[in-house]
Amino acid sequence: MEQLTLFEQDLINAICIFHARFKNAEPQDVEVELMYDDLAGYTAEVYVNGQTEIYNSVNFITALRLFIDKELGRDSISARITLDIDDDEGMIANVSW
């Protein structure tokens, strides 16, 4: 089984690319704050063009799948993606095929 770890900056990039695609903006214009709490789980607060949106875990994984497909050139449909917190790296995504 092949494993890949996406680090915090990769997660931010994935959300920026995903959000920009649907909001008619450039990825560099999108600001992202990654968050975790026991009730909501993994979320991201996304800012662009004066608007704020909250990504829940499902939106988060969808953005990561697009990133894996388009930026990494890999098949995201067969990938198992889990979000985690690493003491040194911050929020990460573990991807396995």
15-35 tens-digit pLDDT = 999 999 999 999 999 999 999
Provide the residue range defining the domain that includes 53: 9-74
Residues 21-80: pLDDT tens digits?
A: 999 999 999 999 999 999 999 999 999 999 999 999 999 999 999 999 999 999 999 999
pLDDT score of 86: 96
How far apart CA 89 and CA 52 sit, in angstroms, is 26
pLDDT score of 70: 95
Question: How many domains would you assign to the chain?
Answer: 1
pLDDT of 1 strictly over 90: no
Q: Which two tokens stand for residue 37?
A: 């709490």
How far apart CA 40 and CA 18 sit, in angstroms, is 21
Residue 4 domain-assigned (yes or no): no
Q: Does the reported pTM lie above 0.75?
A: yes
